[in-house]
Amino acid sequence: MPDAAIDDLLTQDGGTPRRSFLKWSAAVGGGAAALGAGAYFGVLPGIGPENAAHAESGSGIDRTVWSACVVNCGSRCPLRYQVKDGTIVRVLPDNTGDDGLLTRQIRACVRGRNMRQRIYNPDRIKTPLKRVGPRGSGQYEAISWDEALDLFADKLKHTIDTYGNESIYKNYGSGVWNAHLGTSGGWERLFNLLGGFLGYYGNYSYAQILTVTQYHYGAPDEQISNSFEDSVTNSDMLVLWGNNPQETRMSGGGNTFTSAAAMKNNNLKIVVVDPRHSDSAAVLADEWLAPRPGSDAALVAGMAHVMISENLHDQAFLDKYCQGFDEAHMPEGVPAGHSYMSYVMGLGPDGIEKTPAWAAQITGVTERQIASFARDLANARAANITQGWGPQRHANGENQARAIYTLAAMTGNVGIPGGGTGGREGYYWPITSWFPDGENPVKTQISMFGWTDAVERGPELTALKDGIRGKDKLDVGIKFMLQYGGNMLSSQHADINRTRKILTDESLCEFICVVDNQMTASANMADLILPDTTTAERWDLVPSEYTGDMAYLIMAEKAIEPLFDSKPAYEMCVGIAQRMGIEQEFTEGRTLEEWARWMQAETVREHPEFPTFDELRVQGVYRYYNPEGLTVALKDFRDDPDANPLATPSGKIEIFSTGLWEMAKTWEFPDPLPGDVITALPEHVDTWEGPVEARTNKEFPLQVIGHHFKGRVHSTYGNLTLLKEAHPQMVWINTMDADARGIVEGDLVEVFNNRGRIRIPARVTPRIMPGVLSVPQGAWFKLDADGVDIGGAVNTLTKIHPTPISKGNPQHTALVQVVKA
Ligand SMILES: Nc1nc2c(c(=O)[nH]1)N[C@H]1C(S)=C(S)[C@@H](COP(=O)(O)OP(=O)(O)OC[C@H]3O[C@@H](n4cnc5c(=O)[nH]c(N)nc54)[C@H](O)[C@@H]3O)O[C@H]1N2
Ligand SMILES: Nc1nc2c(c(=O)[nH]1)N[C@H]1C(S)=C(S)[C@@H](COP(=O)(O)OP(=O)(O)OC[C@H]3O[C@@H](n4cnc5c(=O)[nH]c(N)nc54)[C@H](O)[C@@H]3O)O[C@H]1N2
Ligand code: SF4
Ligand SMILES: [Mo]
């Protein structure tokens, strides 16, 4: 944008541009057609002087600065900080855009609007801290930055010299996810320049679906579905399958808005499939089906039985685009009886017909509901089945995910407007430039969930048994761990008590450094704690993430000076690089702000339509769109499967996966638990602590899941008084289960199994199915003198046992008992 145009915007009065903007947005809101080639609209009029980073006369405010909430909630919201005398006195939301489907305001949720409480929280880590008592005891002394960085550099050098680079690990942490600079903070670049570190693959969000998609659709990542914007425009049915956008996508820029738009379309039926009557079920659903957690593959098989029996499935689509639905479309060399149809109709190896009655027994959904949902789905003109990541975050969650994908194929919805792939709702991935981390010279990777095993018994881990990649086995355990922007050590990984025990043994992992801005339970496990700033105290550029067909970029300007003795991670890395003799290679002469400017210059070089850094400082948010219009996933494949085959062995959707068939022959499960199997078809399998075991387990008869919760993003924001009052941590329990135990609403209860015990109030409600509890995940872990977690972290109850294919985190699978405290 030329300078004159910026001047123009800055001098316009607020009213005029808004009116012209509304006209424009009405056109764009009309749907795909309006988003033709070249329809890149970035500058939304309505950007008045109140947004600019300049003095505001008469308001008592020195300046208003654009920044953002960058937690990993999958949205990203702009925030405008009003600053007076170097202090943020007020947090304002986005004021660009309107209520148009593709021009929507990116309104921050209740969490972001309370950002001041996080920035000025008493839990802020104020100075570098060195451990003085035993690990985990929480005894620290304040040290200077010089001492702290010396200690870090010495330990790093010692560990590399003694054990090699493969013993260095940067743990998963999503607290600054997807900020172009903050995500890495500089750490990966630093380690890469020093010879590299043990990598990880996958993520806690969707490890299982991520990995199996490669086998099912041939895609390297989860296969997204059509966008909600497309559903609003073109579907007559939208299925939210273990998908809760009203709570997990709460930004006004994200799918809370677009799914609500779907709800306003009277010709669109919305079905929610979730053991809980989630906020999305409450707000959006015409119909709610409640399967037991971990039973989705059985539900799909029961529905498939209805479709096949009544000839409702799309045979033409399955013939042309899929492998393995029926016996006529199997790869060579596979014995008869291994097609999905054979599995469903009882003609496969197990000989069991997957009737609705069979499915009802496993899922708890009635036969009638299964049949009528199957018919409705098959008869819909265009249905978008969108699965969230709840169904796959289970023991053998891989099969759950693939089963839901399969339903999209059986109903012929893949690749058409209004349809979908069975994956999560589609979006336009941001195209802006990142901070350059460089390449990791170490190619060995563990699953992101495998780090406690790699600490405890690294050299025992192998490729075929534990999913080590890049090597047949690990040679050394993790000896040096950096936890940056994550609360894995005592909150977000499974089985907190066991995790803490593994970490307490200083002969295993010899050095732990936590870099955070709040004093979390994980920080308490560190040998060295380094106080980071918050985003408000540094420069960054923040892209949107899962925000449907409207992508955007936000300016995060440094609003205030670093509080206390904190420092942006990048500056910590510079200090360490100095000590390791690589300062120049690391910085290339750039400060943090200069890197932020560099990233935007890189973006503008590739996309001249984007605003420059200084333009973005004024306008705050830049929206942009996929030039191809609304997301219709796999449209190319649908239109011409020969010209655009999938990257599976057959080039087709593999309902029977050749890759998994082969994998099942070679992968090793020396001490298998039920469910540790790899099947070429998306079969239901009875797993450890799953819905079937729950029925016979007298000691721990209740399944517990931990839904993602509006009061926090994981553990972040979990220490804010206002949010705790608005959204108290309570365990959801069905009225019948509560009655049977003499529990009434608000009673303190203890939820426990052999791994741990938590104490929290009960939320007695018919909004969760009998036999199932939900403890919203991410509460701050806090042990009392008896070893009871009175913070109520669900991971006190979950198990460290990886899923069979992705070696991912089955953190919605656990059995427990509950009693009145
Ligand atoms: N039982 C169960 N467990 C789960 C899940 C589940 O569904 N059930 N979900 C899993 C999923 S999907 C995920 S993504 C993970 C998330 O797990 P984590 O990535 O550990 O997420 P948070 O708990 O939010 O921790 C983020 C940390 O970053 C810190 N932070 C925030 N801003 C900054 C900053 O600017 N600098 C630094 N240095 N630190 C900062 C926060 O204070 C917080 O301590 O949890 C997983 N755990
Ligand atoms: N407010 C808020 N928003 C968030 C987050 C947060 O912590 N708080 N975390 C963010 C992150 S990092 C991620 S990865 C996403 C997570 O997004 P998801 O993984 O989709 O969220 P979950 O709450 O784990 O699961 C979604 C729904 O699935 C249901 N469910 C659980 N098990 C099953 C099952 O076996 N079958 C079926 N059909 N349903 C099941 C749960 O009750 C829940 O309502 O959310 C993101 N958004
Ligand atoms: S938590 Fe998510 S929805 Fe809420 S303000 Fe932050 S980025 Fe936006
Ligand atoms: Mo996640």
662, 718: one domain: no
pLDDT of residue 99: 94
**Rounded average pLDDT over 499-506:** 98
- Per-residue pLDDT at 17 exceeds 90: no
Q: Report the distance separating Cα 384 and Cα 376, nearest Å.
A: 13
Q: Mutate which of 80, 109, 118, 119 to test ligand 3's pocket (most atoms within 8 Å of Cβ)?
A: 109
Ligand 1 pocket mutation, candidates 171, 181, 210, 716, criterion most atoms within 8 A of CB: 716
* Residue 239 three-state SS: strand
Q: Token digits for 737? A: 């289960």
| pLDDT at position 698 | 98
How many angstroms separate the CA atoms of 37 and 307, rounded? 40
Q: Say how many C-beta atoms besides its own lie within 10 A of residue 163's C-beta.
A: 18
Which of the ligands is closest to the CA of residue 390? 2
Are 213 and 259 part of one and the same domain? yes
In 411-533, alpha helices (H)? 451-457, 463-466, 496-504
DSSP state of 492: I
Q: What is the pLDDT of residue 59?
A: 73
Of all protein residues, whose CA lies closest to atom 3 belonging to ligand 3? 251
Label residue 630 exposed, middle or buried (CB < 10 Å: 0-12, 13-18, 19+).
buried
Q: Would the CB of 247 count as within 6 Å of ligand 2?
A: yes
What's the one-letter identity of residue 448? M
pLDDT tops 80 at residue 43: no
- Please tell me the distance between residue 197's alpha carbon and the centre of ligand 2 in angstroms: 31
Strand partners, 469: 445
Q: Would the CB of 69 count as within 6 Å of ligand 3?
A: yes
- Please list, in sequence order, all residues whose beta carbon lies within 8 angstroms of the beta carbon of residue 591, skipping any fewer than 6 positions away: none
Give domain status of residue 83, yes or no: no
Residues 478-490: tens digit of each pLDDT: 999 999 999 999 9
What is the pLDDT confidence band of residue 15, given thresholds at 50, 70 and 90?
very low
Please compute the mean of the pLDDT values over residues 735-743 and round it to a whole number.
98
pLDDT band for position 62 (cuts 50, 70, 90): very high
**What proportion of the chain, given as a percentage, has pLDDT over 90?**
92
**23 has a pLDDT exceeding 90:** no
pTM: 0.94
768: confidence class by pLDDT, cuts 50, 70, 90: very high
CATH of the domain at 753: 2.40.40.20
Give the pLDDT band (50/70/90) at residue 621: very high
Q: Whose CA is nearest to atom 34 of ligand 1?
A: 534
Residues 137 and 158 in one domain: yes
Report CA(74)–ligand 3 centroid distance (Å).
8
Q: Does residue 558 lie within any of the structural domains?
A: no
Q: How confident is the model at residue 10 (pLDDT cuts 50, 70, 90)?
A: very low
> Ligand 2, residues 69, 239, 248: which to mutate, most atoms within 8 A of Cβ?
248
**Largest Cα–Cα distance of the chain, in whole Å?**
81
- Report, in this order, helix, strand and coil percent for the chain, each rounded to 5: 35, 15, 50
Query: Which residue has the CA at smallest separation from atom 11 of ligand 2?
Result: 73
Q: Does ligand 3 have an atom closer than 6 angstroms to the CB of 556?
A: no
CATH number at residue 159: 3.40.50.740
Q: Note the pLDDT of residue 13.
A: 29
| Cα of 139 from ligand 2 centre, angstroms | 35
pLDDT in tens, 560-606: 999 999 999 999 999 999 999 999 999 999 999 999 999 999 999 99
Range of the domain at 660: 209-428+635-666
What's the rounded Cα separation, in Å, for the pair 119 and 566? 12
Average pLDDT over residues 309-316: 98
Bridge partners, residue 731, by sequence: 762
3-state secondary structure of 762: strand
- What's the pLDDT band for 177 if we cut at 50, 70, 90? confident
Say if residue 698 is in the same domain as residue 803: yes
Q: Which of 666, 683, 717 is the last residue of a domain?
A: 666
Same domain, 181 and 215: no
**Closest ligand to Cα 486:** 1
* CA–CA separation, 686 and 698 (whole Å): 17
* Residue 521: inside a domain: yes
Tokens of 683: 């079969």
In contact, 155 and 168? CB cutoff 8 Å: no
Rounded Cα gap, residues 722 and 743, in angstroms = 27
| pLDDT value at residue 759 | 98
Phi/psi at 112 (5° precision): -60, -35
Ligand 1 pocket mutation, candidates 170, 713, 715, criterion most atoms within 8 A of CB: 715
HEC profile of 264-296: CCCCCEEEEECCECCHHHHHHCCEEECCCCCCH
Please write the tens of the pLDDT for every residue from 693-724. 999 999 999 999 999 999 999 999 999 999 99
Estimate to the nearest angstrom the gap between the alpha carbon of 204 and the chain centroid: 7
Task: Provide the H-helix boundaries in 164-199.
Answer: 187-193
In a domain, 78, yes or no: no
Residue 31's pLDDT is 34
Other residues' Cβ atoms within 10 Å of the Cβ of residue 388: 26
- Tokens 């509460």, located at residue: 779
| Exposed e or buried b per residue across 433-452, where buried means at least 16 C-beta atoms within 10 angstroms of its C-beta | bbbebeebebebbbbbbbbb
| DSSP-derived pairing of the beta strands 653-654 and 322-323 | parallel
193/214 same-domain check = no
Encoding tokens for residue 602? 């890189």
542 pocket-lining for ligand 3 (C-beta < 6 Å) = no
Q: What is the mean pLDDT of residues 185-211?
A: 98
CB atoms within 10 A of CB 378: 20
> Helices 658-666 and 207-216 sit at what angle, rounded to 10 degrees?
120
Retrieve residue 811's tokens. 């953190």
Ligand 2 atom having least distance to the Cα of 111: 1
DSSP code of residue 335:
P
What pLDDT score does 178 carry? Answer: 82
Report the share of the chain in percent with pLDDT over 70: 93
On whether residue 241 sits in a domain, the answer given is: yes
Residue 394: CB within 6 Å of ligand 2? Answer: yes
Q: Tell whether 514 is covered by a domain.
A: yes
Domain total for the chain?
Answer: 3
Same domain, 378 and 288: yes
Tell me, what's the pLDDT at 41? 36
The mean pLDDT value of the chain amounts to 93
Q: pLDDT tens, 407-431?
A: 999 999 999 999 999 999 999 999 9
| Cα(180)–Cα(307) distance, integer angstroms | 47
**114 within ligand 2 shell (Cβ under 6 A):** no
**CB atoms < 10 A from the CB of 766, how many?**
10
d(CA 706, CA 725): 19
Q: Does position 512 have pLDDT exceeding 80, yes or no?
A: yes
219/186 same-domain check: no
Specify whether 189 is located in the same domain as 225: no
Name the region of 681 (left: φ>0; alpha: ψ -120 to 50; beta: rest). Answer: beta
For CA atoms 475, 481, 486, 489, give the dihedral sign. Answer: positive
Buried b (16+ CB within 10 A) or exposed e, 270-293: bbbbbbbbbbbbebbbebbbbbbb
Q: For residues 233 and 166, state if they share a domain.
A: no
Which pLDDT score is estimated for 671? 94
Same domain, 450 and 420: no
List Cβ neighbours of 112 (8 Å cut-off, separation of 6 or more): 69, 77, 79, 91, 93
**Rounded Cα distance, 502 and 634, in Å:** 45
Q: What angle do CA 357, 362, 367 make, to 5 degrees?
A: 30
Does the structure show a pLDDT above 90 at 37?
no
Q: What is the pLDDT of residue 58?
A: 54
**For residue 26, what pLDDT is reported?**
31
Ligand 2 and 76: CB distance under 6 A: no
- What is the CB < 6 Å shell around ligand 1? 72, 173-176, 182, 204-205, 393, 484-488, 491-492, 515-518, 520, 532, 534-535, 569, 706, 708, 713-716, 777-778, 794-795, 798, 811
Q: Determine, yes or no, domain membership for 46.
A: no
380 pLDDT more than 60:
yes
Closest residue CA from atom 2 of ligand 3: 73
Q: How far is the CA of 154 from the centre of ligand 3 (A)?
A: 38
Nearest CA to ligand 2 atom 8: 713
Quick one: CA dihedral 684, 685, 690, 694, positive or negative? positive
**249 domain residue, yes or no:** yes
Give the closest residue (by CA) to ligand 1 atom 31.
Answer: 175
Q: Over 90: is that where the pLDDT of 190 sits? A: yes
User: Which residue in this structure is represented by tokens 């105290």?
Assistant: 537
Q: Residue 623: which pLDDT band, with cuts at 50, 70 and 90? A: very high
Which CATH number is 236's domain given? Answer: 3.40.228.10
Residues 192, 223 within the same domain: no
In this prediction, residues 491-507 reach a mean pLDDT of 98
Q: How many residues does the chain have?
A: 821
Q: Please check the confidence at residue 48 and state whether its pLDDT lies above 60.
A: no
Q: What was the pLDDT predicted at 75?
A: 86
Does residue 202 register a pLDDT over 90?
A: yes
What is the pLDDT at residue 14?
A: 28
| Dist CA 595 CA 532 (whole Å) | 18
